[in-house]
Amino acid sequence: MQKIRITILQGAFLPVPALRGGAIEKAWDALGQCFADAGHKVTHISRKCNGLPEEEKIGDVRHLRVQGFDGVKNSFLLKLLETFYVLRAKKLLPPADILITHAFWAPLLFNKEKFGKMYVHVGRYPKGQLRFYKKASRFQVPTKAIFEAVKKEIPERSKEISVLPYPINWKVEKSGNYLERSSTLLFLGRIHPEKGVTELIKAFKNIPLNIRKGWKLIIRGPWRFEQGGGGESYLSQVKDEAKECGSVIEILEPTFSVAELRKSLEAAKLFVYPSSADKGETFGLAVLEAMSCGCVPIVSSLECFQDLVADQKNGYVFNHRSNIAVQLLSSKLEDAIQSQENNIRFSNECFKMAKEYEAERLARKYIQDFKVLLDLKPLDIHS
């Protein structure tokens, strides 16, 4: 087997390992480890913070870290800050065959192929920048919805777009009896207006007491601006909305412990993710992680979720664009709470779906794509 030299360059605002969360950081951390386990040479460059050393080896992956920044609300300042980070990171880039990056400026500021063929991860809906990424060899997107958005922006390069999803960074293993789980509706994600958190609380309160008796709603996630949340004022709104329900609604501080997140998902019956971010959500890793633990999802009708959740087949979908979206969500919550037999079946289907997204399995598909770019013999992705 020919060893491929792979560099992964993350953005300026979150560290790897994902001590502050981040779907993209979690995904590439897991994939990088799988690439290295398969015998390839992997260097992972990310933000230096949280006491992480400038250089260390985790497994067989070499990690290099450079000074980055906390996120800010101003998008212009955000891009300016990332410029400094990318220029610092450029000094550390080793010779490589493939350079994977989602950093905004890298495809503009780096020399073409000097650090490897540029494999641009498009983890957000594009905003016109892709037409300037002439040096990119591949545009990798996580869902069909993002594929269409990228294709619309650069139609002449549609053959250079690969649809390869994010992985789950743990083994999918079915365990326990679904009916023995707690009667919990769980939201894990950023506490931000676009995630529909206050709407979720309203929808829960709309459920007749005799139907939701014994059920609890737990909301947990980062709320600070620098962590992608809506800030203290929005957190106050969320708490005010939940106040009258007392302990039936819990709002918890975030955790970035994989073990703790997984434990929460394995204990809950239902996972609710009512995001209204039509141009913000690009995959739904939180939903996939829930499904991998057999926690049945209730999601909005965002295009990116369509790759994962099918209404009344492995979960529930409501129309978040309707002017009665809260009522529709409330109806879905009622349906899910009262459909235990269906939920057992949906939970089993979730396990089956999630198994396809295990990191080791997906890593083989990425390596195949790298080999196509490098004009090497492609791997058998089923091997």
Residue 197 belongs to a domain with what CATH number? Answer: 3.40.50.2000
Same domain, yes or no, for 59 and 128? Answer: yes
DSSP string, 96-137: -SEEEE--TTHHHHSPTBTTBEEEEE--S---S-GGG-TTEE
* List of residues 6+ apart from 66 with CB closer than 8 A: 45, 47, 48, 54, 85, 88, 89, 92
Asked if residue 157 and residue 193 are part of one domain, the reply reads no
- Tens of pLDDT, residues 107-141: 999 988 899 999 999 988 999 999 999 999 999 99
Q: What does the alpha-carbon distance between residue 364 and residue 381 come to, in Å, rounded to a whole number?
A: 6
357 versus 383: the higher-pLDDT residue is: 357
Do 365 and 341 lie in one domain? The reply is no
CB atoms within 10 A of CB 73: 9
Domain that holds residue 103: 5-167+358-373
- What residues form DSSP beta bridges with 116? 113
pLDDT score, position 21:
86
- The Cα 123–Cα 76 span in angstroms is 19
Number of folded domains in the chain? 2
**Does 81 share its domain with 223?**
no
Q: In the predicted model, what is the mean pLDDT of residues 38-46? A: 98
Asked if 139 and 156 count as a contact pair (C-beta separation under 8 A), the reply is: no
- Domain shared by 162 and 191, yes or no: no
Q: How far apart are CA 48 and CA 42, in angstroms?
A: 18
For residues 183 and 95, membership in a common domain is answered with no
Token pair recorded at residue 354: 């999630």
Do 56 and 182 sit in the same domain of this protein? Answer: no
The mean per-residue pLDDT over the stretch 19-30 comes to 92
Same domain, 150 and 271: no
Condensed to tens digits (0 to 9), the pLDDT of residues 333-360 reads 999 999 999 999 999 999 999 999 999 9
Do 76 and 160 reside in the same domain of the chain?
A: yes
Higher pLDDT pick, 375 / 369? 369
Q: How confident is the model at residue 383 (pLDDT cuts 50, 70, 90)?
A: very low
Report the sign of the C-alpha dihedral through residues 195, 201, 206, 208, in that order.
positive
Q: Are 89 and 131 in a shared domain? A: yes
Q: Which residues of 114-125 are buried (b: 16+ CB within 10 A; e: fewer)?
A: ebbbbbbbbbeb
Let me know if residue 339 belongs to a domain.
Answer: yes
For the chain, the residue count is 383
Shortest CA distance to 12 belongs to which of 72, 74, 93? 72
Can you give the pTM of this predicted structure? 0.85
In this predicted structure, the answer to whether residue 304 has a pLDDT above a threshold of 90 is no
Sheet with 5-9, edge to edge strand ranges: 55-58, 61-67, 41-48, 5-9, 98-101, 117-121, 136-141, 161-163
pLDDT over 70 percentage in the chain? 98
The pLDDT value recorded for residue 290 is 97
Band of the pLDDT at 1, cuts 50, 70, 90? low
